[in-house]
Amino acid sequence: MTPLPLPDGLTQQEMDAELAKAEEAARAPAAPTAPYHPPIAYPPYRSTHHRTPHAPLVAVRDPEAVELTGPVFGGTDVTALDHDLTRQHAGEPIGERITVTGRVLDRRGRPVRGQLVELWQANSAGRYAHRLDQHLAPLDPNFTGFGRCLTDDDGTYSFTTVRPGAYPWRNHINAWRPAHLHFSFFGTAFTQRLVTQMYFPGDPLLPHDPVLHSVTDEAARARLVAAYDHGLSVPEWSLGYRWDVVLDGPSATLTEEDHAR
Amino acid sequence: MTPLHAPTPSQTIGPFYGNALPFADGGEIAPRAHPDAITLHGYVYDGAAEPVPDALVEIWQPAPDGSRAGAHGSLRRDPATGRAAGRDGVTFTGFGRVPTDADGHWAVRTLPPGGVPYLSVALFARGLLHHLYTRAYLRDEPADRLLASLDAGRRATLLALPEPPRAYRFDMRLQGEGETVFLGFS
């Protein structure tokens, strides 16, 4: 059943009540289990209304499926500086310099090696270098806000960038997105593909954001928030955050392991 | 058996990936001037039958010889300038990525996949909290497990329409009448 769209012009307070209602519904005994991901339709995020399928997904359980393998990337696809978003222009971007690092694992905890990680974000004032972003915050001529790297043998990725600013959007009245980094990950299988967003600990906007709260399970939501890690902070240089990522979905290697048992 | 780690949740790609994810030659999966190259293209529509101008389409497929190993080099970078260098014109990587344009249209040029009648498609957009998977079938194959499991109307949404001599049209409808069959893998 398609949920009804929410009316226009909700206040943040009314939106917060909708977030709580959706979370309550997801906790109900009749709710589907393992809510690791957002539901297909989530009315508080209003863009979902015309864009989410009505029919349930058709389950594919075919050991020969092409999707159990996936694209590969290598040294030609990434240059050594691509992971540093502060060194892509003649000057340095304005903002609080940060490093973000973590490991990419599959569900069995094995590192995803040599795979592509992509990062994109708003600048420190909360504006994307994208012509359709009309937020009245300054663009930074020294910041594009896009980086990429390959994971190492341990599954580790690492980026240097500036902390993005929060920015307004038109989901409801006076709606603001918390500061976030967009990430794209590839696993060993196309089924493990993940596009998601990383948030910053202690951000006062976290309780009010429908996109984050589309993950209705509190523990799952917490996995989108990085940890400040003082050990990763570089003296006189940058503040460090750690964010580990686990890719969902079956893959040829996971399936082989299941068959071997 | 190792207990399974809890996965990281998905979030929407949002509207502003455009200066980051698309890359030069993203839709040019076929080696340059390859005589067997085909074009796969289509429109993405939302539930109000409006074109979706800010979707991102990714393609993954076997090589013509059936290999699913893929190859590096989809998004080559020039190590001197850091700029996108485009594909090398020879290697078949099996991976493509193209944004829809203002009309909701996308296109890739590729080679027919070996061993299977379909290309795998992942669709990302603002408003999708998790990307959607589907398949573009270049021909109807009664023995195909997925096609066989669907009624005729739903099956038709997965069949790319041949546009002779060498193109196929594959529209995707996110919602409502003629809604494309989207897939779940578990």
The minimum CA-CA distance between A235 and chain B, rounded to whole Å, is 28
User: Does A186 lie at the interface with B, CB-CB under 8 angstroms?
Assistant: no
Average pLDDT for B100-120: 98
Identify the closest residue of chain A to B177 by CA–CA distance.
A54
Mapping DSSP onto H, E and C, the string for chain A reads: CCCCCCCCCCCHHHHHHHHHHHHHHHHCCCCCCCCCCCCCCCCCCHHHCCCCCCCCCEEECCCCCHHHCCCCCCCCCCCCCCCECCCCCCCCCCCCEEEEEEEEECCCCCECCCCEEEEECCCCCCCCCCCCCCCCCCCCCCCCCEEEEECCCCCEEEEEEECCCCEEECCCCCEEECCEEEEEECCCCHHHCEEEEEECCCCCCHHHCHHHHCCCCHHHHHCCECEECHHHCECCCEEEEECCEECCCCCHHHHHHHHHC
Instruction: Give B113-124 pLDDT, tens digit per residue.
Output: 999 999 999 999
Residue A261 has pLDDT above 50, yes or no: no
Q: What's the pLDDT band for A16 if we cut at 50, 70, 90?
A: very high
pLDDT tens sequence across A53-74? 999 999 999 999 999 999 999 9
What is the set of domains in chain B, with CATH numbers? 14-173 (2.60.130.10)
d(CA B126, CA B12): 6
Q: How many CB atoms lie within 10 A of CB A76?
A: 19
Question: Cβ of A84 under 8 Å from any chain B Cβ?
Answer: no
- pLDDT of A256 > 80? The answer is no
**Which sequence positions of A are flagged as catalytic?**
128, 167, 177, 180, 182
The average pLDDT across B180-186 equals 94
User: A33 falls in which pLDDT band (50, 70, 90)?
Assistant: low
CA atoms within 13 A on the CB side of A47: 20
Closest chain B C-alpha to A176 CA, distance in angstroms? 14
| More confident of the two residues B61 and A35 | B61
Mean per-residue pLDDT of chain B: 96
Calpha distance A141→B41 (Å, rounded):
36
Question: pTM value?
Answer: 0.96
Predicted complex ipTM? 0.97
Q: Across-strand partners of B168?
A: B40, B162
Confidence of residue B2 (pLDDT cuts 50, 70, 90): low
Q: Per-residue confidence at A5, pLDDT binned at 50, 70, 90? A: confident
Q: Tell me the average pLDDT across B145-152.
A: 96
CB-CB under 8 Å, A219 with B6: yes
Q: Is the pLDDT of residue A260 over 50?
A: no
% of residues, chain A, pLDDT over 90: 85
Residue A40 is predicted with a pLDDT of 86
Residue in B30, B42, B40 with CA at minimum distance from that of residue B168: B40
The verdict on a CB contact (< 8 Å) between B47 and A49 is yes
Looking at residue B82, the DSSP 8-state letter turns out to be -
- Rounded to whole angstroms, how far apart are CA atoms B62 and B65? 8
- Residue A34: the pLDDT is 58
Distance in angstroms (rounded) separating the CA atoms of residues A169 and A177 = 7
| Residue B152 pLDDT | 95
Mean pLDDT computed over B145-159 = 97
Beta-carbon separation of B77 and A55 below 8 A: no
Query: What rounded mean pLDDT belongs to chain A?
Result: 93
Closest CA to B111 of B166, B50, B72: B166
Has residue A220 got a pLDDT over 60?
yes
| Residue B156's pLDDT band (cuts 50, 70, 90) | very high
> CA-to-CA distance for A30 and A99, rounded, in angstroms?
42
Q: Quick check: B105 contacting A, CB < 8 Å? A: no
Q: Give yes or no for residue A4 having a pLDDT over 70.
A: yes
Please tell me the distance from the alpha carbon of residue B1 to that of residue A261, in angstroms, as a whole number: 9
Q: What is the structure's pLDDT at A26?
A: 87
Question: What burial letters (b/e) apply to B130-139, b meaning 16+ CB within 10 Å?
Answer: bbbbbbbbbe
Question: Could you report the per-residue pLDDT of A102-159, keeping only the tens digit for each?
Answer: 999 999 999 999 999 999 999 999 999 999 999 999 999 999 999 999 999 999 999 9
* 3-class SS of residue B160: coil
Cα angle value A142/A143/A145 (rounded, 5°)? 165
Per residue in B9-50, pLDDT tens? 999 999 999 999 999 999 999 999 999 999 999 999 999 999
The tokens 């096609």 sit on which residue? B147
Nearest-angstrom CA–CA distance, A208 and A223: 17
Match 């004032």 to its residue by tokens.
Answer: A125
